[in-house]
Amino acid sequence: MRIDKTQNLGPQELPDPTRSTQAAKPVQVAAAAGDVDGANLDLQMAALQRQAAQTPDIDTDAVEQARQLLKSGQLDTPDAILRAARNMLNRGI
């Protein structure tokens, strides 16, 4: 699995996950016995794995509702655009 940093990037700078030109390369980490950095890396990796496992599933009903709102034009208002922009900035999307 590959996760790219997206915070502070404009929409034009975000990578397109459907057009990956490079295969994800496995990260190899070698830690010597008693290597504190290696131990910290292991702890960080375990924390990230726990966080990823808690990621909620996609709410298909919410996705369909959003599609219908977009099709109806209800989201084409200055207020809706401003709310969406604020949410993107606050959530790093």
Tens of pLDDT, residue by residue over 31-66, are 555 556 777 888 899 888 888 888 778 888 989 998
pLDDT value, residue 79: 92
Determine the straight-line distance between the first and last CA of the chain, rounded to whole angstroms.
19
Q: Is the separation of the CB atoms in 6 and 14 below 8 Å?
A: yes
Q: What is the DSSP string of 4-72?
A: ---TT--GGGS--GGG--SPPPPP-----TT-HHHHHHHHHHHHHHHHHHTPPPP-HHHHHHHHHHHHH
Confirm whether pTM is higher than 0.85: no
Q: Considering only CA atoms, which of 58, 77, 87 is closest in space to residue 69?
A: 77
